[in-house]
Amino acid sequence: MTKVEARIGKISPWLSLIPVIVGLFMVVLDMSILMVALPKITQDFHATASDVQWLLNAYLITLVILLIVFGKIGDTTRRDILYAVGMFIFIIGSYCSAKSWNIGVFILFRVVQAIGGAVIMGNSLALITELFPPGQRGTAMGVESILIATSFALGPVIGGWLTTNLSWHWVFYINIPIGIFGIVTAFLLFPPLGGVSKEPIDFIGVFLLTIGLGFFTLAVIKGQDWGWWSRKTVWSFIISFAWLLAFIAREINYEYPILDISLFKIRNFTSSMMALFFMSWALASVIFLIPYYLQGVLCLTAQSAGIWMLPISVVNIIIAPIAGRLSDRINPQILMCTAPFLFISGLYMLSNIGVNNDFWSLALPFATLGSGIGMMMPAAMNVMMSSVPKEKAGMASGTIQTSNSLARSIGISFGGVVFTNKMNELIVNAGNRIPSPQEIKLLGVLAVKGNPLPLLEIVDAFLKSLHAVFSAAIPIIIVSLIIAAVFVRGSEHVKRVSEFGLAG
C-alpha cells in the first residue's frame, strides 16, 4: 500500500466530501444569487443592457472554456491543492467584484471569479470518483445533485434578502466566509489526490479549444440579440466549428491530448452525457422563465418567488441521494428512463397555469420537476464517472461540466427564442425580449387608472408564450429518454460495481 492510499484510508470519504460540497455550493449559489441583484447593480453603475449581458456572459464563457483545461490539470497535479486554490481565486474575484468602481472593471473581476469556478466545477466529479469506490459513488453523486439544486433555489431567496436589507455588494461578500471555510476544510480533510497522470499540458490544444468554445458560446448567448442569421452570429459559428475541428485533429494526433477523444468511444460515458445534455437543455429552457412568471404575472417579490420555487429543491433533496444509491444497486437505465417521464408530467401540470395560481397549486408540478432532475442527474453522473479510467477522471469531469454548461446556455437561448417568437405573433412589435416584472406592474398601474387592455394583452401573450416553451421542451426531453433507453448499458455499470463486492 502506498503512502497516499494509506492516508486515504485514514480519512472518511464522507468527511473529505465536505470541502467538495462547500466549493460547489459557493459557485452554484453565485450563479443564481446575482440575478436578483442585477436591477440594483444596473442602477448604481448606470449600466446599459449590453453591459449587464457581458457581466453574465463573460463569466459563463470563461467557465465553459476552462472546465476541461482545469480538469486535465487536476489529473497531472495535486487535485486537492488545486481545488483549494480554485476556492481562493473565487473569493478574491468575489471581493474585487464587490469593490468594483466601474462596469468594465466589474466584468474583469467576474472573469477572475469564473477562473476559480472552473477549477472547482472542473474537478468536483473527479474528486468524488477518487474519494469513493464503486458502490458508494452513486450516493455521493446524489449529494452533489442536491447541492446544485438547493443552491439554485436558495440563490434568489438569499440574494433578495441581502439586496433588500444590506446591499447588492453582499451577494459577493457572502462568498468570502464560505470560501475560507472551504479552504480550511480542504487542507484538513482532503487526502493527497490527483496527480495520477504525468502527461504534459497540451497548450496548443488549450488555445484551439479556447477559441472554438469561446466563439460557440458567444454565438449561442448573443444569437438571439444579433439575429440567428445575422453576419456576426453566422461567422461566430463558422469560426467556432473551424477551430473545434482543428482541436479534434490535434487531439487525435497528439501524444498527450488535453481531451482524450477515446473517452467518447466509451458507450456509457457518451450516451449518459448526451442523455443528461438534453435533459439539462430542457430544464434550463423552462426554469429560467418561471421567475418572470412568478414576479411578473403573479406580482411576487424576488424573495417570495424563490420561496415558491423551493419544492423543486426540497423534492430533489429527497430523491437525489436515493437515486444515487439505487444507481449502484439496480440498473441505472431504469432511473434514467423514469426521470424524463416525471419531467414531462411536471410540464403537463404547468400547462394550465394562469393569473390565479397560489403556492399549493404550483407545489405539485414544481415537485414533479424536481423529482425528474433528482432522478436523472446522480444516476447519469455515476454511470459516466464509473465508466472512465481513474487517471482520466479530471478530464472526464471537466468534459461533463462543459457539456452541462453548454446545455444550459443553449437551453436559455432556446427558451428565449420560443418565448419571444410567440410573443411577436401575439403582440405587434413585442421585440426580442421578455417582459420584465416592472413593465407588467406599470401596466397594472395603468389598468387601475381605467385602461386595462394593455395589461390584459401582455399577460395573455406572456402565458401563451410560456406554454409554448413548455410544449417545445417536451420533444427535447423525449430525445433524452430515447438515448437513455437505447444506448445506455446499465447492466454493465451494475456488473462493474458488483465486481468490487460493494453493491448490496
Same domain, 238 and 299: no
Q: In what helix (H) or strand (E) does residue 227 lie, and over which residues does it extend?
A: none
CATH, residue 109: 1.20.1250.20
Cell readout for 90 is 473565487
Same domain, 126 and 248: no
Q: What is the pLDDT of residue 41?
A: 76
Q: Are 484 and 267 in contact (CB under 8 A)?
A: no
To the nearest 10°, the Cα dihedral for 301, 302, 308, 312?
A: 170
- Domain extent, residue 113, equals 3-201+258-498
Same domain, 440 and 425: yes
Measure the CA–CA gap between 164 and 158, rounded to whole angstroms. 10
Same domain, 158 and 271: yes
- Given a cut of 70, the residues of the chain with pLDDT beneath it are 1-10, 35-36, 38-39, 47-53, 135, 137, 145-146, 149-150, 152-153, 156, 194-198, 302, 430-433, 436-438, 441, 443-452, 454, 499-504
Looking at 224, 240, 257, the residue that finishes a domain is 257
Looking at 257, 276, 304, the residue that finishes a domain is 257
Measure the CA–CA gap between 201 and 182, rounded to whole angstroms. 27
Same domain, 178 and 318: yes
Q: What is the pLDDT of residue 113?
A: 93
Same domain, 287 and 396: yes
**pTM recorded for the entire structure:** 0.79
Assigned domain for 504 exists: no
Assigned domain for 444 exists: yes
Task: Name the nearest CA neighbour of 125 among 143, 109, 111.
Answer: 143
Residues in a beta bridge with 78? 194
3-state secondary structure of 78: strand
Q: What is the pLDDT of residue 481?
A: 94
Q: What is the pLDDT of residue 206?
A: 81
Same domain, 210 and 161: no
3-state secondary structure of 194: strand
Assigned domain for 450 exists: yes
Assigned domain for 503 exists: no
Q: Where are the alpha helices (DSSP H) in 263-392?
A: 267-287, 290-292, 302-308, 310-326, 332-350, 359-387
Q: Dihedrals φ, ψ of 282, to 5°?
A: -65, -40
Q: What is the pLDDT of residue 279?
A: 92
Measure the CA–CA gap between 403 and 122, rounded to whole angstroms. 11
453: exposed, middle or buried (Cβ count in 10 Å: 0-12, 13-18, 19+): exposed
Same domain, 435 and 365: yes
Total domains, the chain: 2
How crowded is the C-beta side of 210, counted as CA atoms within 13 Å?
Answer: 10
Measure the CA–CA gap between 294 and 470, rounded to whole angstroms. 16
Q: Cell 476541461, residue?
A: 68
Cell readout for 5 is 492510499
Looking at 220, 238, 257, the residue that finishes a domain is 257
Assigned domain for 63 exists: yes
Same domain, 478 and 377: yes
Sign of the torsion angle spanned by Cα atoms 463, 469, 474, 480: negative
Assigned domain for 470 exists: yes
Assigned domain for 25 exists: yes
Task: Name the nearest CA neighbour of 397 among 85, 122, 202.
Answer: 122
Same domain, 292 and 434: yes
Same domain, 91 and 19: yes
Q: What is the pLDDT of residue 394?
A: 72
Q: Cell 484538513, residue?
A: 188
Cell readout for 367 is 415537485
Same domain, 301 and 330: yes
Assigned domain for 271 exists: yes
Measure the CA–CA gap between 93 and 103, rounded to whole angstroms. 14
Residues in a beta bridge with 194? 78
Q: What is the pLDDT of residue 90?
A: 95
Measure the CA–CA gap between 60 and 118, rounded to whole angstroms. 10
